[in-house]
Chain A
């Protein structure tokens, strides 16, 4: 066999091996958490309050806190993100301003969550006097997920075929009516993808949340109450060595939630792509 034939086989084997190794890591991480955590999950674990600092009982308030916080963050970020995407895709060409907006969005996406935590603490919690609360946490998370929503929405809007706009405009619709009635409904699956990705990121976030939403065990009564998300609860259980069984259980719930969100998003995207290909 010639030398470069051999080098070809060696290279492909090595690259394929690296890929398999990476896949094995993914399988190990998910498998490990589920194997240790699934036995801890029961209806009681999901729907009862923690007792004795989390050594006993369940994680119900943490589930409620996580869902409320993530939902509020998306309610804040969605109109801002989609509005930005509509402006970038429908109302302007590439100018210095749009380049600045894009660069700002990219930078925002790259900021580490601990910086968001510092900022949220000094701005929402202290300066605006919201205290450790659902509200402060939600605003902080909203800024964090804004870049994701902008990018996915813009992509979705750009993928709506041009003739649909032309037909709408030729029927006498204004640009805004065209956006509202012809473009946005067709971009919806893509926008939902962005929402889901943001939701997944919010569920797992810890550093930005612990300094803004606090870590109270109680069910929140208003937007000004502190909440403890599942990720924060898990961090405290694991780090302070309170209970590794409950920590594994919480981790499994977290991972299942994240996997469900990711798989749903993937399915949605595949359908969206399939529809576009037609």
Chain B
């Protein structure tokens, strides 16, 4: 009797455990159901590679948004990755343990701050600063990249710290015993061993940057055109969805869901890559 009820519980828990996967599938199904017929009608080539976005007259080309998303994402990565990885190396290899206890949680506070707040600070402080120092409208690719760089910093730092710590202590001892300085041991041995994990952190940071919406809407300027320089206004894929979703109907709304498909696919590819990199780290440890 009790053994049977235990079996029932196991079945029930198995069903519950499938919820996350089920949700993922339902999300994919509904986004594709809304956007895919549109993609077929307009043609993926026209949709992805045309620069003409005028939904009211039936032109749906998102190429400038794709380029803008790539600009701000790689810009953000160029700022967030060096700072995040440098912080991780310092904290796990050189800093005193007390620094790790205090500094790591302090920097991780950044991950908790709402993206709208980042956007607002970007508008009030960063954009005027860029306008004054470098010219242009201020609300720009550069402003978005800086804000994104700060936002993805905690992700990159946390994962980098984990992967540096998972490098066996004997690697360091071996290098030091051969007469290397601590920096040489880190540079030549530890960083090499931790590389898959550092890479995974950067990929996940990229995923966050490309998917970020509210902060980017506030600081990137949102002009529908190809950004001519880093000081130019730009509209990303995510911003395009969020800005027009409020009033879009019919084909226009489907076009926004099709934009969602593009984002979804990119994020899935990045997630797969990060998982593969982390698995390589796991394999290397063993």
Contact = CB atoms under 8 A, between A and B. Distances in A.
A195 to B, nearest CB: 14
Nearest to A205: B114
A23 interface: yes
Given A19-B90, A84-B17, A118-B241, A25 B150 contact: yes
B150 A204 contact: no
B117 to A, nearest CB: 5
Interface in B233-274: 238, 241-242, 245, 256-257, 260, 263-264, 267-268, 270-271, 274
Interface in A128-183: 143, 146-147, 150, 174-176
B21 interface: yes
Nearest to A174: B6
Contacts of B181: 4-5, 7-8
Interface stretch (B37-45, B57-65, B204-212): B204-212
Contacts of B78: none
Contacts of B150: 25, 29
B133 interface: no
A75 interface: no
A174 B3 contact: yes
B120 interface: yes
B271 A15 contact: no
Interface stretch (B24-32, B46-54, B166-174, B223-231): B24-32
Interface in B165-190: 181-184, 186-187
A176 B2 CA distance: 10
A142 B261 CA distance: 22
B115 A204 contact: yes
Interface stretch (A39-47, A52-60, A119-127, A216-224): A119-127
B91 A110 contact: no
A262 interface: yes
Chain B at the A interface: SS class: helix
Contacts of A32: 121, 125
A241 to B, nearest CB: 10
A243 interface: no
A118 B187 CA distance: 45
Contacts of B116: 204, 206, 231, 234-235, 238, 251
A29 B122 CA distance: 10
B94 A112 contact: no
Contacts of B86: 14-15, 18-19
Chain A at the B interface: SS class: helix
A236 B13 CA distance: 42
B17 A83 contact: yes
Given A29-B113, A111-B27, A204-B115, A12 B19 contact: no
B267 A239 contact: no
B264 A11 contact: no
B161 to A, nearest CB: 11
B283 interface: no
Interface of B: 2-3, 5-6, 9-10, 12-14, 16-21, 23-24, 26-27, 30-31, 34, 82-84, 86-87, 89-91, 94-95, 99, 103, 105-110, 112-121, 123-125, 150, 153, 157, 181-184, 186-187, 204, 207-208, 210-214, 217-218, 238, 241-242, 245, 256-257, 260, 263-264, 267-268, 270-271, 274-275
Interface of A: 4-5, 7-8, 11-12, 14-16, 18-19, 21-23, 25-26, 29-30, 32-33, 79-80, 83-84, 86-88, 91, 100-101, 103-108, 110-119, 121-123, 127, 143, 146-147, 150, 174-176, 200-201, 203-207, 210-211, 231, 234-235, 238-239, 244, 247, 251, 254-255, 258-259, 261-262, 266
